[in-house]
């Protein structure tokens, strides 16, 4: 029996985009759990072992950094790929994360190959496909 596929949680408020992200990561060998909020992500993270998180920085009813802060406070070692559209200064929000190599930033618009590359980078040599 093959080993279970690594689980990835995708936080995306737009269901269509979340589905596309899930399909791409699924073809790369990951099991994808799609959620629409940080609260739902925390529930998923508490129920299973998760390889990494993909999160849109814009979430309904939350400033994305605040919503992500609750997730990263509860799971500080969890690798995170952040999707962000804003073009302002990312250093206050993102700078410390990038130094440890487990957090990556994808700017909208991005190519799906960029997501695959980011997934491979945060998951490392343990790539499932």
- Is 2 inside any structural domain? no
Q: Which of 23, 2, 4 is nearest to 112 (CA)?
A: 23
Number of domains in the chain: 1
- Is 1 inside any structural domain? no
Write out pLDDT tens, residues 1-20.
788 899 999 998 888 988 99
Any idea what the CATH number is for the domain that residue 29 is in? 3.40.50.2300
Structural domain harbouring 58: 7-126
Q: Tell me the CA end-to-end span of the chain in Å, nearest whole number.
A: 16
Write out pLDDT tens, residues 99-126.
455 678 888 888 999 999 999 988 875 5
Neighbours of 116 (CB within 10 A): 16
Single pTM value for the model: 0.83
- Is 55 inside any structural domain? yes
């Amino acid at each position: 029996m093959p080993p279970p596929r690594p689980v990835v949680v995708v936080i995306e408020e737009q269901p269509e985009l979340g589905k596309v992200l899930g399909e791409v990561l699924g073809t790369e060998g990951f099991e994808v759990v799609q959620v629409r909020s940080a609260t739902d992500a925390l529930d998923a993270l508490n129920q299973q072992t998760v390889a990494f998180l993909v999160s849109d920085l814009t979430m309904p009813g939350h400033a994305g950094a605040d919503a992500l802060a609750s997730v990263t406070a509860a799971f500080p070692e969890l690798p995170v790929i952040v999707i962000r559209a804003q073009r302002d200064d990312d250093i206050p929000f993102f700078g410390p994360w990038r130094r440890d190599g487990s957090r990556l930033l994808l700017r909208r618009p991005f190519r799906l190959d960029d997501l695959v590359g980011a997934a491979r980078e945060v998951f490392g040599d343990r790539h499932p496909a």
